[in-house]
Amino acid sequence: MSPMAAKRDRKAASRKQRSQIRRRITFVVLTVLPLIIGLTWFNLSNKNIDEIQGYETQALLRKEVEANRDALRFQLKAASENYVQDAGQPLQASLDNLNPGFTEALSKVTTKHAAAIDEMQAALVTYTKAAQKAVDAALAQPKSGAAVTAVLNSKEYKNADTDFGNAIAAANLGGGLSMKKANDNWKVLVVAELAITILITILIGTFSLMTERAISRANASELARRQDRNNLDTEPFSQIAASMADGVMILSKDNTIMMANPAAQAMLGMEARIGSTFDSSQDIAGKSMMTSAGKAGGQNVTIVTIKAL
């Protein structure tokens, strides 16, 4: 094998190795990476959905707290005027719905709490402790509206009621902001999923083009190597023939001289001119000629070797 052909073989082997590495990278990128991205997106999206549902549940709980607080305040005002409905059962029920009702319901929410709702819960506990005194006064016998009024006008109850109202307002605002943030995160996830899908599609197209180019180069290299093996009219052959003491000529099928080394030109003179016709069967005085078949440039040729006697 000529040095040129060997060099081409080495380059082809190197390209083949790089192509194998690219195919492995393609396999990882187009199979493992999308799987990891898909699982990650699935987990994040589920977490985000659970978070949104948790905020919606907390919003309903806040509405129930406001409704029970309003009902409790209304019934306490009626009790301060010596009116207690159904032996005070609605009064106590409204208080129980606040605490422990709200506290137990909130504890069942396993997702992230909305902003300020924990502070509202703390204010609720303080308020229900103060309100319990008013409820006890309303349920006491004999009925005493003055006792209920005294509790409602106390500094402890007024401060607790005011703080509880402010805490509810803050929790409503915080819940709205938390819900907005969760919805924004969901939009980001959707956009990210779309962007990743487009990126993977581009990667698939890019690696497909790279593979096609690698296959084309490999085919071209293989074709060149085959041609080089069948081609005797190469630079290395010409250099070897030029250094030979024997005359060497290559004749085409119609006996046209395609190549003649310096020794042949010295022995035959003008008869060894490239492009002229040479009869390899003639007898030349003082010279011996041998012929053999070969290939040059993909065609059958005759190799003539001339020796001086």
| Confidence bin at 253 (pLDDT 50/70/90) | confident
The average confidence (pLDDT) of the chain is 82
* pLDDT greater at residue 167 or residue 237: 167
Please check whether residues 148 and 268 belong to one and the same domain: no
Nearest to 90 by CA among 81, 102, 78, 106: 78
User: What CATH number is attached to the domain comprising 257?
Assistant: 3.30.450.20
Q: What per-residue confidence (pLDDT) applies to 119?
A: 92
Please check whether residues 108 and 164 belong to one and the same domain: yes
Q: What per-residue confidence (pLDDT) applies to 144?
A: 75
- Is 111 contained in some domain? yes
| Domain's final residue, options 165, 195, 211 | 211
Please check whether residues 280 and 183 belong to one and the same domain: no
Please check whether residues 48 and 94 belong to one and the same domain: yes
- Is 272 contained in some domain? yes
Is the model's pLDDT at 240 over the cut of 70? no
- Is 228 contained in some domain? no
| pLDDT per residue as tens digits for the range 185-219 | 989 988 888 888 888 888 778 877 877 777 777 67
Please check whether residues 150 and 297 belong to one and the same domain: no
Please check whether residues 117 and 253 belong to one and the same domain: no
Q: How much is the average pLDDT of 65-71?
A: 92
Q: Which stretches of the chain are DSSP H helices?
A: 3-27, 33-80, 89-96, 103-107, 117-139, 145-152, 155-230, 235-242, 262-268
The number of folded domains in the chain is: 2
Beta bridge partners of 278: none
- Highest mean pLDDT range out of 126-130, 206-210, 219-223? 126-130
Please check whether residues 248 and 299 belong to one and the same domain: yes
- Is 17 contained in some domain? yes
Q: What is the dihedral of CA 239, 244, 247, 253, to 10 degrees?
A: -40
- Is 218 contained in some domain? no
- Is 71 contained in some domain? yes
Range of the domain at 303: 235-308
Helix (H) or strand (E) holding 259: strand 257-260
| Confidence bin at 167 (pLDDT 50/70/90) | very high
Please check whether residues 152 and 27 belong to one and the same domain: yes
Q: What per-residue confidence (pLDDT) applies to 260?
A: 86
Q: What per-residue confidence (pLDDT) applies to 234?
A: 46
Q: How much is the average pLDDT of 55-66?
A: 92
Q: What per-residue confidence (pLDDT) applies to 145?
A: 83
Please check whether residues 75 and 198 belong to one and the same domain: yes
Nearest to 51 by CA among 179, 174, 171, 192: 179
The DSSP 8-state label assigned to residue 256 in this structure reads B
Tokens of 254: 């119609």
The DSSP 8-state label assigned to residue 82 in this structure reads T
State what percent of residues in the chain have pLDDT above 70.
88
Instruction: Write down the pTM of the prediction.
Output: 0.57
Number of other CB atoms surrounding residue 216 within 10 Å: 10
Please check whether residues 29 and 120 belong to one and the same domain: yes
| Domain's final residue, options 169, 195, 211 | 211
- Highest mean pLDDT range out of 35-44, 75-84, 163-172, 224-233? 163-172
Please check whether residues 148 and 265 belong to one and the same domain: no
- Is 172 contained in some domain? yes
* pLDDT greater at residue 150 or residue 241: 150
Please confirm whether the linkage preceding 262 is cis (ω < 30° from 0): no
Please check whether residues 117 and 239 belong to one and the same domain: no
| Domain's final residue, options 164, 195, 211 | 211
| Confidence bin at 120 (pLDDT 50/70/90) | very high
Q: How far apart are CA 85 and CA 90, in angstroms?
A: 7
- Is 148 contained in some domain? yes
